[in-house]
Structure 1
Amino acid sequence: MSQAFDYAALAPFLSVHLNNLGDPYAAESTLLNTRALEQEVLAYFGKLWRSTDRKPLVPESFWGYLLGMGATEGNMYALWSAREYLRTQDFTEGAKSSVREEPVVFYSEASHYSMAKCASALGIPTFEDLGNGLYPGQCPVTSDGRWPHGVPTDNGAVDPERLAELVDFFADKGHPPIIVLNAGTTFAGSFDDSPAVWQALCPVLERHSFRTGTDGANRQDFWIHVDGALGAAYLPYLEMAHTQKLTSERGPRFDFSLPYICSIVTSSHKWYGAPFASGVYMSREKYRMRPETHPEYVSTPDTTLCGSRNGLSALILWYALATISPDEQAATAARCTELAAYAHHQLQSISEWHPSFQVHRAPPSLAVRFTRPRPDIFDRFHLSGEGKLAHIVVMPHVTRSAIDLLVDALRSTDALA
């Protein structure tokens, strides 16, 4: 999470209860809210993620809301939306589902742990669950037929061909896929290549007579969600920086300019910085769920997960976007990726002191992974770990001097003890 923020100007609002209740675009039911600011923030992300504007409102127009929690809530909402879309007969007017079997969730072995938790809470089987339950020993992508927890990856990014093989196996049995791609994995910070995934996936879906939307139909028999907790905010600015020749690094496309992307989520406290967890969920108007009920008590239909949502989240994110221009964000993205490359280079030099020392970075990732040091160094620098590796994530508040201090500590003779 970025610590480079200052919201002191908003302190007076801490004395006000701001409640954004229900759908941001439905009738307001509370007097003290920030829904106008929430709509401005959503319009900003609609442009940032290259979606269709809401004026005029068309099926491809963006729709979304600001989350009460971080990206995990958005992931939960995406899976819930996908489940209902693939199950129901009249999710959108004039578009009926032809799916007869339960949908199946696919995510990579590098995906955030919340994906399994969300799928379990919603009762949606993952390909591992369904494979172990109905097709033990028949996994097409492992040598022994065992079902892995996630789709295999290559340097942290999902393997499009292995994903397509797994989808093919379940599509052959009538199960529509709910696919989660990553714009910045949790530990490696890797980016799944959405266009490459679609190139491998589309022929599989068509071969099994699943609608892909490529024929102009207003319905499709799949859902692709992008978990961009960090990367969905970082990558667009990096692309701006690349266009401005501030950096040579850039990431793969992941946004709504790709017609097969159904939903995207980001955690606003990660790239922009905030004193508490918050985020943005966005999909298209044609995927907006119909409200379960129209409760008279709150006088507004509610299509969100939490109902009452923290209006301060919208105010804080609106303030961040209003006070830091896109060009400034692009310059920050360029500086961060340059600093991540610097950290990678400096950490590589440690192998002179410790020949077994490993360092990994997959550009344009802001995460640099390296051999886990002894506990006191690990704790001193607030590192995160996974197995025998630790990592740092170069956020806007990180400085070159902080990286140099870490490198100096790792050069000590017993740093890896």
Structure 2
Amino acid sequence: MTTSDDRSHAGGNAPTGDTTPYGPGRLPWKDSIPAMAQTDGGYLVSPPQADPVEVYRDAKVPEVQQRLLQVPPTALSDRDRETALDAVRAYEQRENDTFLGYQVETRLQDNGYEDLKFFLNQHLNNVGDPFVAGNLGMNTKFVERMVLDYYASLWNANWPCYFYQESQEKPGNPDSYWGYVLTMGSTEGNLDAVLQGRDYLAGKPLYLSFEQAQHDDPSDAVTTETSPNAFSPVAVFSSESHYSVVKAVHAMAVPTIAEIGNDKYPGQCPITADGHWPKSVPTNPPTEDYPIGNGEIDIDKLEKVVDFLAGKGHPILLVLNYGTTFKGAYDHVEEVGRRILPILRQHGLDSRVVCNDFTVHENGKTHQRRVCHWRTGYWIHVDAALGGSYMPFLEMAHNAGDFHSKGPAFDFRLPFVQSVVMSGHKWPGAPWPTGIYMTKRKLLIHPPDHPEYIGSPDTTYAGSRNGFSALIMWYFTATQSYAEQARKAVRCQEVAEYAEKRFRQLEHELGMNLYVQRSPLSVCVLFREPDPQIVFDYSLSTKTVPVPGKSGEFRKYGHFFTMNDVNETLVDSLVERLRQPGAFPSAETVGPGEAYDHSF
């Protein structure tokens, strides 16, 4: 219980506690509390200890008055609610008109998702495995499976998925894919990939092992491996990996190369001059065309790291990128495999037998049953959040002679790739985060619990999953042919090329080094960070980058993405803003027509 004497003493004479102004009318908070929430001398709920309008004041959105959105216990009147919604609509529309800086599509009017509005009044919950209907009937798993088949084909996986479809008369295919539609976006997929990879490499039981044993109560791994590190995987990823990868390895307690290297092998790092282990593998060094590097993982350094750690017996959990967050770069996944697989083979990590003992109860008796499977001593996951859903169509355009090049292979046509993730809100575009995580049926780890009441195996990372997302993904694929998506993929590249050209022209016009850079086939253009108001108006992403070879020196970059909803007119609008005086307040300029230094 909270008493009416509770007060904040943050300073000043502003009312606090139960006399704090609250709601659209800015009336004292206590005046809106109904009798059912009051007690003698107090309340059943807590009053504000400061004025939220002041605490949450944000100069970036002055047109949205926070008081309009405050919800008192009496709820809002129809008039106040509509006024609040009008303010939110106006803000979102203004942001939508000039949105450029992040790899998501915000202008979705042409996607036709209004046809799905009926389902906004339904609860759609795809809890549990997508290939088992379960007991919660209000689901769209039968739609989800069609979406998964679509992307399995696009990613050269073996499909359809055989999960709970097997029988003695109709045996399944363990090489088929398995996956699901995500609720969080690729962060969820990266979390699951690291979880699955960790347990796979740590020798936890496979789902196939559980089915073969026909019972649970599995043991830890039983193996002939003699290395003490045989089931101690290490997470290896590049310095351009998404922050969700760092979050995932931390959440799953998989040590990074820095954590295990500086702890067990201090001073022995093969890629640094002093032997200190960095958190991640560096990306390619700067060149004349890419002054801060192109964002692709440095395969030479990756080789050395893998060779050292595999030589110590550690399984390798490797995360590669296909469309990095800040540079839009694509790791050469096929080349990585060509270079590191011989190293893994040399150290006995290309293939090994892992067994698990199961306690089996049959005919009133209990006995042990050992199940063994061949596994790799590595797990290679491709974070294709940005590129996984549209680069296949660029490859089709290239194959048809409609575009000059294609990206490197990244999918299941490469037999060493064990999982892939993509974000559906990046491409094809969705009203909320979503995506797809996909691996192979035979690699699926047995879940730690069996929640019988949902009527479906708990194989996904999340419990309840958004069933509407499957409808969104399905609707787009049902209305957009391969040819149309290939055309859109080419269009994204054309606008990116146009944007890079316009920024280089602006650079020459202003006589200023704008740090313009675009990685190969990237839909991301980098340039010097402009005035904060321009950053806000165009939702630009910014980042401080160390100057290579100059200790303690940094440059500030901004960037934008030419997603499918971006056109030349929007690019021109940004260029025009950047042409105005004061657009680059901290920039050093040279005289018109004078040379300027592109290098660091």
Please tell me the TM-score bracket, short chain as reference. Answer: over 0.9
Letter in 1 for 2:454: V
SS for the counterpart of 1:157 is: coil
Q: CA separation in 2, counterparts of 1:211 and 1:347? A: 47
Q: CA separation in 2, counterparts of 1:219 and 1:55? A: 20
Matching residue of 1:389: 557
Larger deviation, residues 406-415 vs 96-105: 96-105
What's the offset of the Cα at 1:77? Answer: 0.2
Bigger helix fraction: 1
Matching residue of 1:178: 317
What's the offset of the Cα at 1:55? Answer: 6.6
Q: Are positions 1:254 and 2:410 aligned together?
A: yes
Count of residue correspondences: 414
What's the offset of the Cα at 1:212? Answer: 4.8
Matching residue of 1:209: 348
1:195 aligned residue (313, 323, 334): 334
Residues 290-369 of structure 1 mapped to structure 2, 5 A cutoff: 290-352=446-508, 353-369=510-526
Q: CA separation in 1, counterparts of 2:533 and 2:204? A: 57
Q: Are positions 1:243 and 2:399 aligned together?
A: yes
SS for the counterpart of 2:389 is: helix
Matching residue of 2:279: 149
Letter in 1 for 2:238: S
2:442 aligned residue (286, 291, 299): 286
Q: Quick check: 1:140–1:169 contact (8 Å CA) kept in 2?
A: yes
What's the offset of the Cα at 1:177? Answer: 0.4
2:303 aligned residue (143, 160, 164): 164
What's the offset of the Cα at 1:415? Answer: 1.8
Larger deviation, residues 8-17 vs 351-360: 351-360
SS for the counterpart of 2:425 is: helix
Matching residue of 1:64: 179
Q: Are positions 1:400 and 2:515 aligned together?
A: no
Q: Deviations over 1:204-252 (max 9, x none)?
A: 1112121259xxx942110000001111011101111111222113110
Q: Are positions 1:131 and 2:237 aligned together?
A: no
Q: Percent identity?
A: 43
Q: CA separation in 1, counterparts of 2:205 and 2:115? A: 47
What's the offset of the Cα at 1:27? Answer: 4.0
What's the offset of the Cα at 1:101? Answer: 3.9
SS for the counterpart of 1:153 is: coil
Question: Quick one: structure 1 residues 308 and 340, their matched pair in 2 at CA, closer, same or farther if it must change by over 3 Å?
Answer: same
Q: CA separation in 1, counterparts of 2:185 and 2:245? A: 13
Q: Quick check: 1:89–1:96 contact (8 Å CA) kept in 2?
A: no
Q: CA separation in 2, counterparts of 1:212 and 1:393? A: 41
Q: CA separation in 2, counterparts of 1:89 and 1:184? A: 31
Q: Are positions 1:74 and 2:230 aligned together?
A: no
Q: Deviations over 1:326-378 (max 9, x none)?
A: 11110000000011011011111122214222111112111111111111121
Q: CA separation in 2, counterparts of 1:344 and 1:74? A: 32
SS for the counterpart of 2:484 is: helix
Q: CA separation in 2, counterparts of 1:141 and 1:358? A: 28
What's the offset of the Cα at 1:411? Answer: 2.2
Matching residue of 1:42: 148
Q: Which runs of 5 or more residues in structure 1 are unaligned?
A: none
SS for the counterpart of 1:335 is: helix
What's the offset of the Cα at 1:298? Answer: 1.5
Letter in 2 for 1:203: P
SS for the counterpart of 2:427 is: helix
Letter in 1 for 2:325: T
Letter in 2 for 1:183: Y
Q: Deviations over 1:109-159 (max 9, x none)?
A: 000011111111111101111112222322111122222222111110001
SS for the counterpart of 2:375 is: coil
1:105 aligned residue (215, 235, 241): 235
Letter in 2 for 1:3: T
Matching residue of 1:85: 200
Q: CA separation in 2, counterparts of 1:96 and 1:245? A: 53
Q: Quick check: 2:134–2:454 contact (8 Å CA) kept in 1?
A: no
Q: Quick check: 2:351–2:374 contact (8 Å CA) kept in 1?
A: no
Larger deviation, residues 44-53 vs 98-107: 98-107
Q: CA separation in 2, counterparts of 1:135 and 1:219? A: 27
Q: Quick check: 2:135–2:453 contact (8 Å CA) kept in 1?
A: no
Q: Deviations over 1:151-184 (max 9, x none)?
A: 1111100011211111111111111100000010
Letter in 1 for 2:335: A
Runs of 4+ in 1 over 6 A off after TM superposition: 94-97
SS for the counterpart of 2:422 is: strand
Q: CA separation in 1, counterparts of 2:447 and 2:241? A: 29
Q: CA separation in 1, counterparts of 2:129 and 2:344? A: 33
Q: CA separation in 2, counterparts of 1:249 and 1:344? A: 18
What's the offset of the Cα at 1:70? Answer: 0.7
Q: CA separation in 2, counterparts of 1:200 and 1:164? A: 7
1:3 aligned residue (101, 106, 111): 106
SS for the counterpart of 1:356 is: coil
Q: CA RMSD in A?
A: 1.7
Q: CA separation in 1, counterparts of 2:504 and 2:280? A: 30
What's the offset of the Cα at 1:54? Answer: 2.6
Q: CA separation in 1, counterparts of 2:529 and 2:269? A: 33
Q: CA separation in 2, counterparts of 1:411 and 1:138? A: 50
What's the offset of the Cα at 1:413? Answer: 3.6
Q: Quick check: 2:143–2:474 contact (8 Å CA) kept in 1?
A: yes
What's the offset of the Cα at 1:28? Answer: 2.1
Q: Quick check: 1:96–1:219 contact (8 Å CA) kept in 2?
A: no
Q: Quick check: 1:249–1:363 contact (8 Å CA) kept in 2?
A: no
Question: Quick one: structure 1 residues 212 and 350, their matched pair in 2 at CA, closer, same or farther if it must change by over 3 Å?
Answer: farther
SS for the counterpart of 1:264 is: strand
SS for the counterpart of 1:63 is: strand
Letter in 1 for 2:246: A
Q: CA separation in 1, counterparts of 2:248 and 2:205? A: 24
Letter in 2 for 1:15: N
